[in-house]
Structure 1
Amino acid sequence: MTFARLFFVCLVSISAYATPLPQIDGLAEKSQEAKQLMAEGKFQQAIVVYRELNEALPNNPGLKLNLGMALHLAGKKREAIPQLEEAVKLDPHMAPAWLFLGTTRLQLGEASAALKPLRTMLQLQPDQHQARQMLADALFSLDRLEEARTEYQRIATEDSQNATAWYGLGRCYELLSSTTFEKLQRLAPESAYVLSLLAEARLREQQFSSAFYLYRRALERMPNLHGLHSALAEIYRQTGHPEWAEIEEQREMALALLDCRSPTLECHFQAGKYEDLIAAAESANTPESFYWRTRAYNELALTAFDRLGRLPSSAELHELKGHIYNNQKKYSEAASEWRKALELSPTNLQIRKELAISLKLGEDYSAALPLFQELLHQQPDSAEFNYFAGDTLLELQQPKEALPLLKRAAARDPKSVAAQKSLARCQLAAGQAANAIPHLKLVLAMDEDGTLHYQLAQAYRAIGQIELSKKMLSDYESMQRSIAARNEAAKQETDITAP
């Protein structure tokens, strides 16, 4: 929820939940003074007055709410929580207290703890779109995608011009598509279904050679799968081979027509009945069902993003463009979109985070660092922000400043491969080779290009373990030779040849 919206809710709540105060020691006058300070945005001064009022009347839910709101708006979110919790305990029907409690939890990165207050708020006021939007965002951040989808869908149905709802809905479908594809990969990793979906992704990214190779492999495994020949025809057209494209189109037309008298998953897909397809495939855990569900979720995501694109310019539209540019590794263009999104939603921490990440990926570390430091100030216990700030400092050749942050990141999230890698690299740069070794050994199995083996060889050499260093260096060189051989073989395999 934006600051302006929260401020408005705050002022309304102060009036709506104000109860006449006894004329003792000027309590009524103090209450009016605090209300005026809040209206003028003087939250720190209002806090002082509200604390005095709460000491005089300790069991007044309205005063607890007002103090909690003042603390929240003054940036003292952690201090606001006990006041807001006490308010809802004293008056469980106080909707603004539930709203502020949920908002505060969410802004502190405590999405799970935000669910109960936001759901309670919606029980009290079902038409409160801001609360429903925050609930959807919280569910999304917890990967509870089906629940998030339901909430975003309700908002979009009630307000078709709501850009946030369409963007959230599109992201839900996008991730549901990805998670369903992962299930398919685990179940049938070498199937034509997996190869076809991988090829489709490569084709969207205009990686024609790779897509061609994957579609050809899919055809070898399932010659009658509709759409494969048409996809190859598209690759031929894009690469300047119209005569070969014609051959593939003819082969597509020669396939047996679908018999949809008893609708199959493919029939639902061809008819654009994606929700029906998902419902029909929900209980089936077969490669075919996962394949069509993946494609259906993807089409629903595209539909939601298309609706977003037809709305007036919004932060959400620029967010979508930012993600697209990131996926294309166009980080400068992505950063430009995130900046535009931030102009339209200046208090949105997620947009600020995405901007910082794009700047970091684009190697603009000096611009990324202050953003990560600001995010870390907002959420000092976040393993993610400790890692990002520390790793960025390391890229700026400041290992001494990076070390405590990376230690904290690795301690808070020991399973984070990125944090362990960065901490080891930092310790090596700081001359702490012995300390780096345990972290390198922890993630050595995840080494894809030999870099970790090389760093471990350096660390062993630094502490005088020459034989271990030689072994790691030998493993590194062997990995490099294997990678070079695979790359050469892949290059030969992906030549676009005639049908």
Structure 2
Amino acid sequence: MLVLAAEGGLATVRVSAAHQSPASAGIQGAPTSDAAALRAQGESAMEASRFGDAEAIYLKLVGATPADPIAHMQLGMARAMGGKTADAIGPLREALRLRPDLLPAKLFLGISYMELGHPKEAVGPLRQVVQADKDNPNARQALAEALLTLEQFAEASTQLEALVVSQPQSPQVWAALGRSYEGVAREAFAKLQALDIDSPYVWLLAADVMTIEEKYPQAFSLIRKAQVALPTLPGVHHTLARVYGASGHADWAAVEQKRAEQERPSCDTVPVACAYLTGKLEDVIARTGSASQPAALYWRARAANDLAARSFETLEKLPPSVERYVVRAGIARDQNQPLEAARQLREALKLAPGDPGIERELAGALYAARDFEGALPLLEKLYGLAPDAPDLQVALGEALLQAQQVDRAVGLLTKAVAADPSMLQARASLGRALVQSGAFEEAIPHLEKALAGDVDGSVHYQLAQAMQRTGKPDRAKALLAEYQKRSQAAAPASATTSPDVPAITPPVP
């Protein structure tokens, strides 16, 4: 996520408020001199970071001048900067009720909502600030963060494109821009799948992913199949050239690249394809904002993926940053390389020691890599910070189970199930812990509920053990049969030896 610099954002509000204070200093209530004195005392306390004192002073000022919107705004600022963000909302809203055009109050209200985890409420005031003050980077950055959190990726990318113009050296902005375009691509791909999950456009986009994952024969097969189904679709020769080149067939790649360069799609007939093939990626995004046809969604997904890649390439050219390593970790995670993700996250922590968000991601990567010994101390630390978080209770419980601390694991997993009975992973882990502790009868109801989410058959196996130990051999036998079936289905097939994957063949004459 983007991190709005608190000092910069609050300083902006403070300066804006100070510029507007004289206009309301004499509003009804206390004599002008008394109100001015209180305001000066409050601003002095704020400058000295004595936020508790400032809050007390502004409470007096609000009592003396209840119709003064600036006083309410300054009270909200003092509370938020003093760590009382929830208590800041009321006075900030009152300031806007009294004076709806008070932009600093809108900015601070939006930031406060974000700090409280309410991005939906933050968008309205932040959007109004950006519309009225297009050069306000704090408002635009906070708005982009809120939109990303709400998965409104297209509007987020618009805000972030404006930010990279004014902040071209910001790794936070480039990383967020890349993530926003990734979101746009995912949305377009999901719409394509909803129209027809087995369409040639889906095959081509899947081939792009397989090329990144170095699954070249599978990618080649999908591209060839799509080429037969869509013989006039521009750009397929270039896609083939990439697969040929990446798989070590440079001569074949040259043939397809030459064919790609000879393509001249009519910009009148296929304007979106033309825009993509001529590198006008932002134009593709603009033209396809409300797209519902497969071809337009296909080009939108491809353009957004390319824009994301371009953003991450720019990030790589900047000096080392937390964002660079976090982005690298995300790519490694997407490619099912959790150990590489963990390595990148450790680099990020060198630049941001103790960052709880990065530590949580690192714990997740180590957990995915089955490095429970490495994950356990991080999970213990994170659990200490958020002991009521069910997902942390489950992760720590499973790590403790691997460390043979069964009794403590059972306690944590029991808490997680009580907090969220619908969490199947918690049910499965608790059932496994109870089996290990010998509490077979207690394990059965949890494992029964977890069967619905059992992909690899492991829950069926645990439940079979519990049934066998509680005198139900017939049920245990049936569960073991299902376990074997699911475990075989979940086993990764060899991509290179599968008879269904054809060899990469030369270009068609």
Question: Do these two structures clear the TM 0.5 threshold for a shared fold by scoring above it?
Answer: yes
**One-letter amino acid matched to 1:391:** A
Kindly provide the CA deviation profile for residues 8-48 of structure 1, in whole angstroms up to 9, marking residues without a partner as x: 23543564455368479987666555433332223344444
Note if contact 2:200-2:225 (Cα within 8 Å) is conserved in structure 1.
yes
Where does residue 2 of structure 1 map in the other structure? 5
1:335 positional shift: 0.7
Give the alignment partner of residue 159 of structure 2, picking from 151, 156, 176: 151
Give the alignment partner of residue 266 of structure 2, picking from 260, 263, 283: 260
Does 1:246 pair with 2:251? yes
Note if contact 1:155-1:165 (Cα within 8 Å) is conserved in structure 2.
yes
**One-letter amino acid matched to 1:368:** L
Note if contact 1:101-1:114 (Cα within 8 Å) is conserved in structure 2.
yes
Give the alignment partner of residue 41 of structure 1, picking from 49, 56, 63: 49
Give the alignment partner of residue 348 of structure 2, picking from 325, 338, 344: 338
Does 1:392 pair with 2:392? no
Q: Structure 1's 57 and 386: CA in aligned 2 closer, same or farther, altered over 3 A?
A: farther
Where does residue 404 of structure 2 map in the other structure? none
Kindly provide the CA deviation profile for residues 81-130 of structure 1, in whole angstroms up to 9, marking residues without a partner as x: 22322332233233222222211111221110111221233355343221
**One-letter amino acid matched to 2:93:** E
Where does residue 478 of structure 2 map in the other structure? 471
Question: What CA distance in whole angstroms lies between the structure 2 residues aligned with 1:453 and 1:258?
Answer: 57
**One-letter amino acid matched to 2:121:** A
Does 1:186 pair with 2:190? no
Question: What CA distance in whole angstroms lies between the structure 2 residues aligned with 1:441 and 1:167?
Answer: 43
Q: Secondary structure at the match of 1:448?
A: coil
Q: Secondary structure at the match of 2:498?
A: helix
Give the alignment partner of residue 121 of structure 2, picking from 113, 122, 130: 113
Where does residue 76 of structure 1 map in the other structure? 84
TM-score with structure 2 length normalisation?
0.77
1:79 positional shift: 2.4
Q: Structure 1's 147 and 69: CA in aligned 2 closer, same or farther, altered over 3 A?
A: same
Where does residue 487 of structure 1 map in the other structure? 493
1:138 positional shift: 0.8
Kindly provide the CA deviation profile for residues 299-338 of structure 1, in whole angstroms up to 9, marking residues without a partner as x: 2222333444445555544443332333342122221343
Give the alignment partner of residue 296 of structure 1, picking from 264, 286, 303: 303
Residues 47-66 of structure 1: pairs in structure 2 closer than 5 A: 47-51=55-59, 54=62, 60-66=68-74
Question: What CA distance in whole angstroms lies between the structure 2 residues aligned with 1:47 and 1:153?
Answer: 38
Moved more, 96-105 or 207-216: 207-216
Q: Structure 1's 407 and 85: CA in aligned 2 closer, same or farther, altered over 3 A?
A: farther
**One-letter amino acid matched to 2:274:** C
Q: Secondary structure at the match of 2:420?
A: helix
1:268 positional shift: 2.8
Note if contact 1:171-1:301 (Cα within 8 Å) is conserved in structure 2.
yes
Give the alignment partner of residue 181 of structure 2, picking from 173, 180, 183: 173
Q: Structure 1's 277 and 135: CA in aligned 2 closer, same or farther, altered over 3 A?
A: closer
Where does residue 420 of structure 1 map in the other structure? 424
1:193 positional shift: 2.7
Does 1:141 pair with 2:176? no
Note if contact 1:193-1:218 (Cα within 8 Å) is conserved in structure 2.
yes
**One-letter amino acid matched to 1:88:** L
Question: What CA distance in whole angstroms lies between the structure 2 residues aligned with 1:85 and 1:425?
Answer: 46
Where does residue 452 of structure 1 map in the other structure? 459
Residues 282-431 of structure 1: pairs in structure 2 closer than 5 A: 285-311=292-318, 313-328=320-335, 329=337, 330-339=340-349, 342=352, 354=361, 357-358=364-365, 360-361=367-368, 363=371, 364-369=374-379, 372-373=382-383, 376=386, 386-397=390-401, 398-400=408-410, 402-403=412-413, 406-407=416-417, 410=420, 414=422, 419-426=423-430, 428-430=432-434
Note if contact 1:387-1:405 (Cα within 8 Å) is conserved in structure 2.
no
Q: Structure 1's 427 and 42: CA in aligned 2 closer, same or farther, altered over 3 A?
A: farther
1:234 positional shift: 5.1
Kindly provide the CA deviation profile for residues 161-197 of structure 1, in whole angstroms up to 9, marking residues without a partner as x: 5544443332222111122112222333333332222
Q: Secondary structure at the match of 1:492?
A: coil
Note if contact 1:93-1:124 (Cα within 8 Å) is conserved in structure 2.
no
Note if contact 1:372-1:389 (Cα within 8 Å) is conserved in structure 2.
no
**Gaps in structure 1 of 5+ consecutive residues:** none
Note if contact 1:352-1:371 (Cα within 8 Å) is conserved in structure 2.
no
1:232 positional shift: 5.5
Where does residue 12 of structure 1 map in the other structure? 15
Q: Secondary structure at the match of 2:83?
A: coil
Question: What CA distance in whole angstroms lies between the structure 2 residues aligned with 1:268 and 1:24?
Answer: 63
Moved more, 252-261 or 442-451: 252-261
Note if contact 2:241-2:257 (Cα within 8 Å) is conserved in structure 1.
no
Q: Secondary structure at the match of 2:72?
A: helix
